[in-house]
Structure 1
Amino acid sequence: MMKTVTINQQTMPAVGIGTWHMGDSAASHKDEVAAIQAAINAGAVAIDTAEMYGNGRSERLVGEAIHPFDRQQLFLIDKVLPSNASHARLEQSLDRSLNLVGTDYFDLYLLHWRSGTIPLAETVDELERMQAKGKIKSWGVSNFDTSDLEELWQLPAGDHCAANEDLYNLDERGIEFDLIPWQAHHQLPLIAYSPLAEADTISGQLSHNKLLKELASNHHASVYQVMLAWTIRNGNVLTIPKAGQVQHALDNVKAGEITFSEDELAALTQAFPKPKRKQSLAII
């Protein structure tokens, strides 16, 4: 049975589509469009992009890929750069992204990371204004740690935040110490970025890990599907792997059907330990 997640009262499959590093190459363009479309046809609903990704090239790719589909059946996520997250620039930035994707609204619009100069309150005010205008259905944040969310919740509309997107994979479990519990307590969904793409380089070829290969065999799956399924094992998480090929995209979506036993989860925790202390937020 496909695992699901609910964001802004909309329930969808817990495996979505990430598009970081997509749209940059003419040689791979056709394959990338086909991969996104294959994932949608297989049941994926959420598509994550950002104005930063290829300076709009990812957004344009998403727009092309979703063109044949019913827009209302999709959950589109975009992100504004912190340098554009001001009263003066956010709406202009949002309009540019909407135009590139070819849609009238985003289901979720995220502050990509905190600005060092623009007050968080100013950004929240502007996000609220965009939601009131109907250009976004909800808003959230990305690369926020627990202290950032606590500060956000102190703002008048801060708790309107619909999701937080952070790096999360088997090799980067730091947010489990206090951030994931905080979000669970406040019923704030997590969007897990780079659940696969960076994992091999971080830990040194996780694809050859003995335990992961054993679990993959147990579930008639690939190591990558096991890694992906692990990120959504507890619910309240949308995971957004990238796929540039059709078969990879189909495999990603199917990973949402994997359920681990308690023994398997215990073995994974032994091999990839939970954090025992607070760690700096991992960002790539």
Structure 2
Amino acid sequence: MQTIELGGVSVPRIGQGTWHMGEDAGQRQAEVRALRAGLDLGMTLIDTAEMYAEGGALLRNATLQRIADKHSATPAQIALAWALRHPGVIAIPKAVSLDHLKQNAYADSIRLDEDDLAQIDAAYAPPVRKQGLMMV
């Protein structure tokens, strides 16, 4: 797992999100298993934020799907790779299943080329005024 320095401390570039974890007793074992597996994968930065926006529609975008197919990845992995393309950026996606957790960790190894980035920029033009950020 790649790391970056924050305030003199080395932290992983991909962490684990915990939104809605602990709210369903029936999911407790799966959630604990996922968090432990993430720690074993080096995903030691854990986000405990309680409020997010809605962003699942981003992952159904045809552009992200084409780029994902090209890289044998998922749209979510492409979104993570896009977010992580700059040094000093950390992503903290949530995952409960071991497969999803591994997909998140693998996203750090995906390298988007200039064409990929141009396609994403065309699909998601920068805002012309201040607005809230969409979450994936």
Q: TM-score, normalised by structure 2?
A: 0.86
Task: Please point out which of 160, 182, 198 is paired with 2:54.
Answer: 198
- Could you tell me how far apart the structure 1 residues matched to 2:7 and 2:25 are? 35
- Could you tell me how far apart the structure 1 residues matched to 2:2 and 2:54 are? 23
Residue pair 1:3, 1:235 contacting (<8 A) in 2 also: no
Identify the residue that residue 9 of structure 1 maps to in structure 2.
8
Identify the residue that residue 43 of structure 2 maps to in structure 1.
44
Residue pair 1:4, 1:235 contacting (<8 A) in 2 also: no
Structure 1 segments of 4+ aligned residues over 6 angstroms from their partners: none
2:59 aligns to what SS in structure 1? helix
1:239 aligns to what SS in structure 2? coil
1:6 aligns to what SS in structure 2? strand
RMSD, aligned α-carbons: 2.3
1:238 aligns to what SS in structure 2? coil
Identify the residue that residue 89 of structure 2 maps to in structure 1.
237
1:227 aligns to what SS in structure 2? helix
* Larger relative contact order, structure 1 or 2 (CA cutoff 8 Å, min sep 6): 2
Of all paired residues, the percent bearing the same amino acid is: 36
Give the Å deviation of 1:281: 4.2
Code of the aligned partner of 1:223: P
Identify the residue that residue 219 of structure 1 maps to in structure 2.
71
1:271 maps to 2:123: yes
2:91 aligns to what SS in structure 1? strand
Q: TM-score, normalised by structure 1?
A: 0.44
Structure with the greater alpha carbon radius of gyration: 1
Which one has a larger percent strand, Structure 1 or Structure 2?
1
1:256 maps to 2:108: yes
- Could you tell me how far apart the structure 1 residues matched to 2:11 and 2:124 are? 28
Give the Å deviation of 1:283: 8.4
Identify the residue that residue 183 of structure 1 maps to in structure 2.
none
- Could you tell me how far apart the structure 2 residues matched to 1:41 and 1:245 are? 14
- Could you tell me how far apart the structure 1 residues matched to 2:67 and 2:125 are? 17
Cα offsets for 1:166-222 (capped at 9, x unmatched): xxxxxxxxxxxxxxxxxxxxxxxxxxx96xx8321xxxx333322111111121111
Give the Å deviation of 1:280: 3.8
Structure 1 unmatched runs, 5+: 54-192
Cα offsets for 1:205-250 (capped at 9, x unmatched): 3333221111111211111111122111112111111112121111
Give the Å deviation of 1:7: 1.3
Q: Comparing 209-218 with 5-14, which one deviates more in the overlay?
A: 5-14
Cα offsets for 1:41-63 (capped at 9, x unmatched): 1221211225xx4xxxxxxxxxx
